[in-house]
Each structure stands twice: as C-alpha cells, then as structure tokens.
Amino acid sequence: MLGKDSPGTFDTHPARIEKEGNGLETAVNKFRMAAYLWQSFTAEQMLRHKFGRRTFRFEEEWTSGTANHRDREKGRQRSEAKINIIRSDKTVAELRDLNMAQQHKSANDKDGLFEVAMEAVRQHFNPRPGQHLYVTVLLMDAHWDASQKILAGHAALGGGSGEMHLSIFGSHCLYSYPSSLEEVVPAFTDCTPTDTNYLANDNNEAGSSWEAANIGIGAHLHEVGHLFGCPHQESGIMLRDYVVFNRSFIAREAYSTRSKCKGGLCLVSDECEWHRLDALRFRAHAAFRTPNDPPQHADASIQAYPSENGNILVVAPSGVAFIEIFAEGDDVCHTWLEWPDTNGAGRQVSIAEADLRAKIPQAKRKGKIRLSIKSHAGGSAEVDDVKQFISKESCVKLEGGGHAFRGMRLGHSSMDGSQSHEVVFDSAINSKRTLSRVTVYHGMAVDGLQFTYDDGSSQLFGKKGGKPEGDTVELGKHMAGHVVSKY
C-alpha cells in the first residue's frame, strides 16, 4: 500500500540502490520472496507437528517469473503469488503524521494506520457479502528519519473482524530481503552493518543486514499469525523467536550483533517454530485445507455444560480440537488438552475440575481457571471461571425432584435494554410433553425463540422482536428428543 503521492521507493543504502534499485518492481520481488519463505517455513513446521506439509496458499497470476534468476534471464512466464498495488486516498505525509500521532498517543484512533489500510483493501477488492478476505499489507512509505531517530509510517498489527482479516507491516527492512531463491542464503548470511544514517536498526536487533531480514520477514509473519487468529504464545513466532528465522534456511549462522555471538552450526533444536497451539489452529483453518481433506463440518459451534460430580461436558458437532487452560494471572497458554481429528473423536468430552488443576503449576492450583475451547471446524467458546461454572449456582432443582444445569451464557448483553432470560423446558419436567415447533423472532439478529409443544403451550426465550410473525422451524420427533434432553 502506498500513499496517493508516493514515489514508490523504500529505504535502503545508496550502494544497494546502485546494485538492485529501490523501486516498486524490486519491492514486489522482495515481498513475494518473503511470502514464499513464510509459506515454506509453515509447511515444514506443520509437517513436524504431524499435520502433513500443509500451509496457506496465495492468490496467483500468470506473469514473468521472478522467483529465480533463470526465469528472469529467459523471460519465462509462470504462475506466481500476486502482489496487489493499492494506492491509499491519503498522502505520504498524512500516513506518516497519522503514525506519529499514534506513537505519541495523541490520535483518537489508536489503530489509525490499520483502519486506513483496512478501508483501502476493502475498496480495492470489493468483497462480496459472506466472502472472507485474508490480506497482509506491506506499508511501502515507512521511512527512517535519521535526524530525529524516528521510524514513521510503520505499524505492526494483525487481526480483523467479521469477514475481513488483515495484517500490516512497514518496509523499513525490505532492503535486506532476498528477491529470488538464489539470494536466500546470501541474504541470511550478509553481515553488512546497518548504517543508521539511512536505515532503521529495529530496537537494536537489526545491526546487520541478515538480522534486519529476520526482523522484517519474521515480525511480518508474526502479524500474519494474528491475521489467522493466533494470540501471543509462550514461545515461537508468536513470541519473538523470529529473530532466528534465518536458521530454517541456512546451515551455519553468521556473527550476530544482537547476541554478540560468533555464530555456528544451525541445528533443528535451535530454529524458531510455530507453537503447537498455532499449528492446531491452522489445522482447523479453511486457508490450510488440502484437496485430500474430507469436507469440513458445517457446524463449528461448541457448547459446554456443568454436570454432576463437578465435571464439565463439552459438546461440538465437529469434535473438540483442543482446550487451552489458563491459570490465574496467565497472559499466554502454558498447558492444554487436545484430541485428534479422527472418526469423530471428541464430539462429546467430559472434563473434571481436578484434572484441569493437576495440569497447572502447584502454586496456581487454588486460583481461578479459564478455558478456551476450540472445535475442529474452527469454532471457539470460553469458560471464564471453571469453579463458578460448575458450582451449585449452576444447578437448578426441578419440580419432580430432578436437577438441571445451566449451560453457557448466550450473547454479550451489550445492547441497551438487554435482559437476562432462563428457560427450563417444560418437556424436561413432563416427559409426556413433546417439543413440536420453534419460532425464531429476528431482524438483523435473533431477538427471541419461542418453543411450542404438542399440547399448544409454549415458552418464550428472549423477546418477540424483529419479524412480527417470526420464522418457524419444524422439528421432527428424533430432533425433538435431542432438544429436550437434560444433563
């Protein structure tokens, strides 16, 4: 992405301008090669996690090959990853001023550059309703101001909402990237010192060219991880292990100005990685599917219910993939449970509180435990406090002497006038009564559900908002039995 008046150049040393240039064509070649390194690194990591050599794919175009020197020399055409050139409606000065305001915390919108990029991408691709876009953006106009020692026009962010998934990163390290396969090893072993008269030394971690390549390519991949829904982790790319990203592509490491280490042999154990939890997320993500994968389950939902003897019953039609366990005070996940995606394993899982507490350190076992539950179809659900979730407050005594348990709360109650509703199905108390019809009242969202029984009586969950008559869902007897079952 460039400002509307951008000359289309990136920061580099004068000697490099003479050698390879710093224009848009060079930027495209380097950015494409960085993307291929992300792709190959991820495929190798997924293989090591026993998920096969799967990775994300790129939109491609038929163009003059740039990924190797032979194609360039012979003008050979290939299908290669497409780099879209997007001009923002803001000038370079406006983009940099916006970024500077963010850094000084004086902007109204703390994610200003991210929102500008989001809008520019949305206008460029004009996605159809329901179409998910996964886009990572290189901010071409990032610039190191040597006089003020400030990096302007750069932001490292990733995420998104709804159907738009975006990450952004500046071009201040682009000069150090390889632009073809033949340049990968030289780029990751180039010890040329970073001249801060022209180039940024990112937090003093990019003191040489190869270290700048690590920071640029690796930190941008970190934001791509956020784009795919990965949070920060205890290790790996989603921490800051990308400072050794080079080790997956070379046999021996050069001298490091960051660690003051003379380098040496690059062993597998010394490489950075995608954390196991990242790999589990990727395994369920639509962007990582392979042609041999069975069709993904249409229902990604997850429900959790407190049950007898202090257990939690987790139900997911596609199967429970993994459960992250957070002890009190944990910012990242240190322990988890996982289930394989084979033969419908994990569709109904019972978990005991004692087993969860046994998984966390002794010093934290008496504190609050939070769960983040993921399904094989990519769904997610949260249990904020396990002890409270399974406490006596979750149990309701029924008229006939039996017990019912409160399920997970639906909705966020964030709208004005929101009210809490609880329903115990009449059919759970009177076994002779059968649920026959569900009426859904909705506008842009669900306002209420009305459950009607075979004797004409009904129960309302929520309100009769939206469409006056609602939409009716007829349930067969076999489905009704599932709806009224209790735990």
Report pLDDT digits (tens) over 375-409: 999 999 999 999 989 888 777 777 777 777 777 77
CB contact at 8 A, 209 and 178:
no
**Assigned domain for 78 exists:** yes
Residue scoring higher pLDDT (273 or 104): 273
* CATH, residue 330: 2.60.40
Please tell me whether residues 271 and 398 are part of one structural domain. no
State the pLDDT at residue 426: 78
Identity of the residue numbered 251: A
Higher pLDDT, 21 or 471: 21
Question: How many domains, in total, are found in the chain?
Answer: 3
135 occurs within a structural domain:
yes
Q: 212 and 320 in one domain? A: no
d(CA 37, CA 184): 9
Q: Are residues 238 and 364 in the same domain?
A: no
Query: What average pLDDT does range 220-229 have in this prediction?
Result: 97
Q: Answer yes or no: is 356 within a domain.
A: yes
Instruction: Looking at the structure, tell me whether residues 103 and 190 fall in a common domain.
Output: yes
Which of 386, 409, 432 is the endpoint of a domain? Answer: 409
Structure tokens belonging to residue 413: 């109650």
Helix extents (H) in 247-287: 276-284
Same domain membership, residue 92 and residue 18:
yes
Q: Are 452 and 437 in contact (CB under 8 A)?
A: yes
327 and 230 within one domain: no
* Selection from 110, 151, 113, 158 nearest residue 134 by Cα: 158
Q: Above 80 in pLDDT, residue 335?
A: yes
318 lies in some domain: yes
- Residue 413 DSSP SS3: coil
Structure-token match 């071409």, residue found: 140
Angle (CA) 322-324-328 rounded to 5° is 165
Cα distances (angstroms) measured from residue 62 to each of 40, 55, 316: 21, 21, 42
pLDDT at 343: 66
In a domain, 222, yes or no: yes
Active site residue 338: no
Same domain, 121 and 269: yes
Per-residue pLDDT band for 108 (boundaries 50, 70, 90) equals very low
Tokens for 274, please give them.
Answer: 């995608």
**Weakest-pLDDT range from 107-121, 183-197, 466-480:** 466-480
Output the domain CATH number for residue 479. Answer: 2.100.10.30
Residue 249 lies in a domain: yes
Q: Are residues 243 and 128 in the same domain?
A: yes
Q: Is residue 9 part of a domain?
A: no
Residues 393, 439, single domain; the answer is no
Domain extent for 439: 422-487
Are residues 373 and 248 part of one domain? no
- Condensed to tens digits (0 to 9), the pLDDT of residues 415-474 reads 777 777 778 877 777 777 888 888 888 877 788 888 888 888 888 888 887 777 777 665
| Contact between residue 62 and residue 118 where contact means Cβ atoms under 8 Å apart | no
The pLDDT mean for the chain works out to 88
pLDDT score of 443: 78
Give the predicted TM-score (pTM) of the model: 0.89
Same domain, 432 and 394: no
Same domain, 397 and 469: no
Beta bridge partners, 18, equal none
Cβ distance 378 to 282 under 8 Å? Answer: no
Among 409, 444, 466, identify where a domain stops.
Answer: 409
Residue 351 lies in a domain: yes
- What is the DSSP annotation of 225-240? HHHTT----SSSTTTT
What is the helix, strand, coil percentage profile of the chain, to 5?
30, 25, 45
Instruction: Among 362, 387, 409, identify where a domain stops.
Output: 409
Catalytic residue among 223, 271, 273, 324: 223
